[in-house]
C-alpha cells in the first residue's frame, strides 16, 4: 500500500468504526503482505510521520489515541487513577506529568512506559484496593481521590503539598463511603479530613 492508501485506510477505520489502534497482524492482513515486509513499511511510514507506534505491536494515526484507549492494549487488568483521573474529573488544578495506573498483576515489563500519549506508571496494589471501574478504564471521582491519597501515603508524600484540590464537594458521599471501606484506616481518615475541609471552605 502507498502512503496515501495507508492514511485513507486508517482514517476510514477511525471514522466508520471508531478504531484507532491496530496490531501488526491487523495491518499485515489489511495490506495483504507479510509481517516482515510490513515492518519495513511501518518504519518508512513512521519516518514520514504518517503512523505512530503507541506500544509494543500497537500502531495508529499520530495524535489519534487517548490514554484511555491505549491502556487496555498495554495491560487489560489496569485502570487509570490518581492525579490523571483527578485532573480529568476537574478535582485538581495541576496537569499531571505521569499517568498512574493500578493493576492486580506484576508485569515482567518496566513499571514505567513512555508512549506518544504520555508516561504510564503501573502500580501493583493489593486485591482489596484494586477495583476496576465498571464503566471503563478511568477511575470514578471517589476512587481516584482515594487511590491518590493511598499512593501518596505509600510514598511518604503530602498530597496537599503536591496538588491543589477543587470541587471535592461535588463527589457523591455515598460513593465515598462505599469506596473508602477498601482502604487502610489512615487513608480513610485522610480522605474524610480532606472532604470536611472542602465543605467548610465552600
pLDDT in tens, 164-177: 999 998 998 899 99
Q: Specify the pLDDT at position 201.
A: 67
Is residue 129 predicted with pLDDT exceeding 80? yes
Alpha-carbon torsion (151, 157, 162, 167), positive or negative: positive
Alpha-carbon torsion (29, 32, 38, 43), positive or negative: negative
Topology of domain 3-65, CATH: Arc Repressor Mutant, subunit A (1.10.10)
Tell me the pLDDT tens digit for each residue of 48-71: 999 999 999 999 999 999 999 999
Ranges of each domain in the chain: 3-65, 68-201
Which DSSP helix (H) or strand (E) runs through 178? helix 173-180
> Which cell numbers hold the place of 169?
464537594
Amino acid at each position: 500500500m502507498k502512503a496515501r492508501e495507508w492514511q485513507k485506510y486508517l482514517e476510514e477505520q477511525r471514522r466508520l468504526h471508531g478504531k484507532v489502534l491496530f496490531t501488526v497482524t491487523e495491518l499485515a492482513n489489511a495490506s495483504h503482505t507479510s509481517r516482515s515486509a510490513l515492518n519495513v513499511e511501518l518504519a518508512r511510514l513512521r519516518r514520514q510521520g504518517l503512523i505512530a507506534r503507541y506500544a509494543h505491536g500497537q500502531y495508529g494515526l499520530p495524535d489519534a489515541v487517548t490514554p484511555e484507549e491505549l491502556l487496555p492494549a498495554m495491560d487489560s487488568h489496569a485502570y487509570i487513577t490518581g492525579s490523571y483521573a483527578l485532573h480529568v474529573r476537574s478535582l485538581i488544578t495541576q496537569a499531571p506529568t505521569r499517568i498512574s495506573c493500578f493493576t492486580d498483576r506484576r508485569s515482567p515489563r518496566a513499571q514505567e512506559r513512555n508512549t506518544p500519549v504520555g508516561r504510564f506508571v503501573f502500580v501493583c496494589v493489593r486485591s482489596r484496593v484494586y477495583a476496576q471501574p465498571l464503566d471503563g478504564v478511568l477511575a470514578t471521582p471517589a476512587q481516584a481521590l482515594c487511590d491518590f491519597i493511598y499512593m501518596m501515603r505509600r510514598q511518604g508524600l503530602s498530597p496537599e503539598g503536591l496538588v491543589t484540590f477543587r470541587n471535592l464537594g461535588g463527589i457523591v458521599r455515598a460513593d465515598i463511603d462505599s469506596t473508602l471501606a477498601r482502604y487502610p484506616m489512615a487513608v480513610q481518615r485522610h480522605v474524610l479530613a480532606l472532604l470536611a475541609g472542602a465543605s467548610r471552605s465552600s
